[in-house]
Amino acid sequence: RADLWEIYDLDNKFEKMQLRRLRLEEIAQKLKSLLPKRKDVDLKLQRETPEHRAARVKLAGATLALDKTLNATSSALESVEAAREALETKEAQGAAASSSSTSSSGAAEEEGEVPTPAKEDPAHTMAVLAMKAELAAAQSHRDSMEVPTPAK
């Protein structure tokens, strides 16, 4: 029985190797069929003018700059959203604190203390965050305008 299992195992391995060999032959044929296309591409690249090359480099630089700008904008939007959430939680905490302190505020006014208003105005905070996001976007846009020139 052990011999039968060994023969069965070897037969399976042989079939797998045959399938691999067929697959490798298919890949080799496909690669051979792509060789003429590769030669055409190589010839086109050799015929490329310096202007085309410079334009391609400039386009690649602009693409990178655009990616940087998009990343900066998305991070600025995330920070604005985080600040907005923090502000909303702060307002909710302030509302909860003011509702519990309304009964004691009358006593505080009688003693001569002035109730303290909220330290930060929500509209002001949002305006500051919007300006910071705008500045970050402008900085990344300015950085994107500095396209490196190709070395000759």
Look up tokens 């509702």; give the residue: 99
CA 69, CA 49: separation in Å to the nearest integer? 30
Q: Is the separation of the CB atoms in 115 and 47 below 8 Å?
A: no
pLDDT confidence of residue 112? 52
User: Tens digit of pLDDT for each residue in 20-53?
Assistant: 999 999 999 999 998 888 888 877 777 878 888 8
Sort 137 into a burial class: Cβ within 10 Å, 0-12 / 13-18 / 19+. middle
Look up tokens 């002035």; give the residue: 114
The model's pTM: 0.35
CA distances to 10, 73, 131, 133, 134 from 141, rounded to whole Å, are 64, 10, 15, 12, 10
Read off the pLDDT band of 10 (50, 70, 90). Answer: very high
CA 105, CA 113: separation in Å to the nearest integer? 9
CA distances to 66, 70, 104 from 109, rounded to whole Å, are 57, 52, 9
Question: What's the mean pLDDT when you consider all of the chain?
Answer: 78
- Tell me the residue type at 117: P
pLDDT confidence of residue 21? 96
User: Tens digit of pLDDT for each residue in 85-132?
Assistant: 888 888 888 888 777 665 554 544 445 544 444 556 777 877 888 788
CA 61, CA 67: separation in Å to the nearest integer? 10
Least confident of 76-80, 98-102, 132-136: 98-102
49's tokens: 């003018």
- The tally of CA atoms less than 13 A away on the side-chain side of residue 28 is 6
User: Is 115 in a helix, a strand, or coil?
Assistant: coil
In the 8-state DSSP scheme, what is residue 49?
A: -
What are the boundaries of each domain within the chain? 1-47
